[in-house]
Chains A and B, each alone.
Chain A
Amino acid sequence: MSDKITKKLKLKVSAISEGTVIDHIPSENLFKVISILELDKTPNMITFGANLDSGKLDKKAIIKVSHQFFADDDINRIALIAPNAKLNIIKDYEVVEKKIVEVPDRVVGIVKCFNPKCITNNEPVTTSFKVIGKEPLALKCKYCEKITHEHQMVIK
């Protein structure tokens, strides 16, 4: 019992009894992660913090979502903007499972095609890419067949 209390005191964002903690998000992408995971629409309790000190990243962000768990396919959608994100699955204040995100083989939505003459930049068409390189990222557009490289990536 006392162990749990000390742990809680160290936390800058209050602990949750049950749900998912997404840690090690680059601070500047916090709101994009919220939007991609549609947490702005969830009825569940969410707490988040940004610009927290981190050993790995300069400044990290963290999101805690109560009573919500994510399928791997859903969570991998944030891999492009939070490649080092770590998930802790919480049950009864304890971490019962840890997950890391992986860049998926296909990226649907999220990223804009860099080609201004692509149909997806001119009509309301959801983008779709085949991931042809993961480090650095290279995305081949299903429509115009051009390759969007990591340095050209713009998140929708």
Chain B
Amino acid sequence: MKRDLISITDYSKEDYLRIMELAADFERNPNQRLLEGKVVASLFFEPSTRTRLSFETAINRLGGRIIGFTDSNSSSVTKGETLHDTIKMVSNYADLIVMRHPLEGSARYAAEVSTIPIINAGDGANQHPTQTLLDMYSIQKTQGRLDNINIFMVGDLKYGRTVHSLLMAMSEFENPIFNFIAPEELEMPEEYKIFLRDKGIRYFEHREFTDIISEADIVYMTRVQKERFSDPIEYEQVKNVYILRNSMLANTKPTMRILHPLPRVNEIHTDVDSSEKAYYFQQALNGMYTREAIIAHTLNLK
């Protein structure tokens, strides 16, 4: 049976740990020609330069060949071809498909249609599991563990798919504590709070973004996006409330690290960048090792 990665919950705790182990191995030695003689299809039905370059670099470092397109304007989608037919055709040619698509559920559907494994590189606002795995690898690397982590999630917790997936994944580990800092309009959806309560996991909700982060092991920042607000006045009121500044880091733990899925707008002030607690650029680099690990795990190469 082929092993797809569509949603973060497709992986078990054992899979997460295996990815952490493999990512560390690829970080020590990024160039391992495990994909020699194999073809990977990189199908980006919408542009995402950051994710695509990370994947394609990972494939290159593994010695694989790449076919595909970088946005749907340069594919037969413009001729009206259905996703079904595109996937059917490509699965004749390649050994693995990495796909990004603007419609939600497109990756799960593609996995049903395809005879070769699919890695979801983002399906609309639904899932982006490789981001979650690289977030986890960043936590593992900076904290030396995935158990007993106190995470503060800040910003758009309602629509932010990265925080939802990270919450689900970290809940598989021992004794996590979640702190949610968000305006009322963007607070963590009830279904995730119910999930945590059912599992007996502690969480706390805050409106103010103050020195409460002194307890944090990880501060996970997200963008507050203007288009999420029906009332532009509400956006103006909250957009500058959830900004992380260097001055707020004074009482935080020395081992605390700041993560952000990027791109950022103004939610992390540039004066934070020089802090040793700023980890978001290394986090992006970890993405490449993690994606090498995911590809190796998907195709059982190691």
B242 to chain A, nearest CB (A): 26
**Given A117-B103, A118-B103, A123-B84, also A143-B108 (CB < 8 A):** yes
Asked if B83 is at the interface (CB within 8 A of a chain A CB), the reply is yes
The residue that A142 contacts in the complex, of B106, B108, B124, with Cβ under 8 A, is B108
In contact, A124 and B82 (Cβ under 8 angstroms): yes
Asked if B125 is at the interface (CB within 8 A of a chain A CB), the reply is yes
**Given A125-B109, A143-B109, also A119-B103 (CB < 8 A):** yes
By beta carbon, the residue of chain B nearest A124 is B82
- List of B residues within 8 angstroms of A141 by Cβ: 105
**Given A119-B103, A119-B104, also A144-B82 (CB < 8 A):** no
Interface residues on B, range: 10 to 19
In contact, A143 and B104 (Cβ under 8 angstroms): yes
B198 to chain A, nearest CB (A): 13
Asked if A115 is at the interface (CB within 8 A of a chain B CB), the reply is yes
A125 to chain B, nearest CB (A): 6
A144 to chain B, nearest CB (A): 4
In contact, A123 and B82 (Cβ under 8 angstroms): yes
Q: Using a Cβ–Cβ cut-off of 8 Å, how many residues does chain A contribute to the interface with B?
A: 17
The residue that A119 contacts in the complex, of B7, B83, B125, B191, with Cβ under 8 A, is B83
Asked if B91 is at the interface (CB within 8 A of a chain A CB), the reply is no
Asked if B126 is at the interface (CB within 8 A of a chain A CB), the reply is yes
Say whether chain A's binding surface is mostly helix, strand, loop, or mixed. loop
Asked if B127 is at the interface (CB within 8 A of a chain A CB), the reply is yes
In contact, A119 and B127 (Cβ under 8 angstroms): no
Asked if A28 is at the interface (CB within 8 A of a chain B CB), the reply is no
In contact, A146 and B109 (Cβ under 8 angstroms): no
A82 to B171, CA, bound (A): 39
Residues B96-118 near A (CB distance < 8 A): 102-106, 108-109
B78 to chain A, nearest CB (A): 15
**Given A123-B82, A123-B84, A124-B82, also A146-B108 (CB < 8 A):** no
In contact, A122 and B103 (Cβ under 8 angstroms): yes
**B82, B103, B104, B126: most-surrounded residue (chain A CB, <10 A):** B104
Can you list, as one digit per residue, whether each of B115-142 has a CB less than 8 Å from chain A (1) or not (0)? Answer: 0000000011111000000000000000
A147 to B83, CA, bound (A): 23
In contact, B84 and A118 (Cβ under 8 angstroms): no
- List of A residues within 8 angstroms of B103 by Cβ: 117-119, 122-123
- List of B residues within 8 angstroms of A150 by Cβ: none
Asked if A145 is at the interface (CB within 8 A of a chain B CB), the reply is yes
- List of A residues within 8 angstroms of B84 by Cβ: 123-125
B165 to chain A, nearest CB (A): 11
Asked if A120 is at the interface (CB within 8 A of a chain B CB), the reply is yes
**Given A115-B104, A119-B106, also A145-B7 (CB < 8 A):** yes
By beta carbon, the residue of chain A nearest B191 is A147
Can you list, as one digit per residue, whether each of B229-244 has a CB less than 8 Å from chain A (1) or not (0)? Answer: 0000000000000000
- List of A residues within 8 angstroms of B123 by Cβ: 119, 144
A117 to B103, CA, bound (A): 5
Residues A91-106 near B (CB distance < 8 A): none
Minimum-distance CB pairs A-B, first 9: A143-B105, A144-B104, A144-B105, A119-B105, A119-B106, A119-B103, A143-B108, A119-B109, A117-B104
12 further A-B contacts with Cβ under 8 Å, apart from A117-B124, A144-B126, A146-B126, are: A115-B104, A117-B102, A117-B103, A118-B104, A119-B109, A123-B82, A123-B83, A123-B109, A124-B82, A143-B106, A143-B108, A143-B109
12 A–B contact pairs at CB < 8 A? Answer: A115-B104, A117-B104, A119-B103, A119-B104, A119-B106, A122-B103, A123-B109, A143-B104, A143-B106, A143-B108, A144-B105, A147-B191
